[in-house]
Amino acid sequence: MKKKDHDAIRLDRLLSALALGTRTQVQNLIRSGRITVNQKAVFKPESHVNASDAVALDGQALDTRLSRHIMLNKPCGVLTAARDPRQPTVIDLLPPIFESLGCMPVGRLDKDTEGLLLLTTDGTLAHQILSPRRQVWKTYRAVVDGPLSGEDVLAFERGLALSDFTALPARLTILRSSGTEAEALVDVCEGKYHQVRRMFEARGRIVTALKRLAIGPISLDESLAVGEYRELTEAELRAIRQAVSGEKYAE
């Protein structure tokens, strides 16, 4: 099934995608008369519905959108993966409907990194956000175990040679720095494994805390507690689509 707002789809397939039960369970719901379409009971599981149809269960309207885009305030200690047999993943933090619809993380945040994580049913959009060619900058706040200086800023601007690749030029903004600790913002347009941590290691610093604050025009909603999520607003979705197309977003 295509993970997008539907033109026409079998009713039983739609209800299964909405995590209302297995195909057999939703077929029984339909045959029992508990499902209405446009306020009329429908008894045939093979009946087709459109995105504009009003579907309800026991009189309660259902949200039948198959396209979903959310932001999650990812906690530390949680894997950015669909499922893992041994450890909790970001999907475990969400209601079952998002997994059922095929909502997947856009890239990865390391297990020990917290902050903004986008999840979407739109695989093309996810690929575009992650592509360095699209120049969608990601902003992180990092705390490191020693001082930072203007030399570090210049090194990030030039691009840092790591063991297996050379990181593209990045922006380093020092917020505070002392003899024992520094805090900085880092903007990168790629997101390779442990990249931000490895860039600081190349400068002789160990990251002790890392949080992603923004992806392109989308900033982490400060009202979201750690582990909470919300769907993107229409304005946010338009903004990120324009960002990956190279257009400048106007409110």
Residue pLDDT, tens place only, 132-164: 889 999 999 999 999 999 999 999 999 999 988
Joined together, the tokens standing for residue 8 give 């026409």
- pLDDT-derived band at 109, boundaries 50, 70, 90: very high
Fold matches, 9-61 and 137-215: no
Helices (H), 72-182: 96-100, 123-130, 150-158
Decide which of 30 and 6 is more confident.
30
Helix or strand holding residue 104 (H, E):
strand 104-105
Contact call for residues 113 and 211 (beta carbons, < 8 A): yes
Contact call for residues 214 and 220 (beta carbons, < 8 A): yes
CATH of 69-132+217-244, one of 3.30.40.230, 3.30.70.580, 3.40.1440.10, 1.10.238.10: 3.30.70.580
- pLDDT-derived band at 83, boundaries 50, 70, 90: confident
Which has the closest alpha carbon to 56: 47, 64, 45? 64
Joined together, the tokens standing for residue 78 give 């949680």
- pLDDT-derived band at 248, boundaries 50, 70, 90: low
- Give residue-wise pLDDT tens across range 55-69: 999 999 999 999 999
- Give residue-wise pLDDT tens across range 170-218: 999 999 999 999 999 999 998 888 999 999 999 999 999 999 999 999 9
Active-site residue numbers?
Answer: 110
Residue 112 has what pLDDT? 95
Domain 9-61, architecture per CATH? Roll (3.10)
CATH no., domain 137-215: 3.30.70.1560
Tell me the percentage of the chain whose pLDDT exceeds 90: 87
* Range with lowest mean pLDDT among 6-20, 209-223, 226-240: 6-20
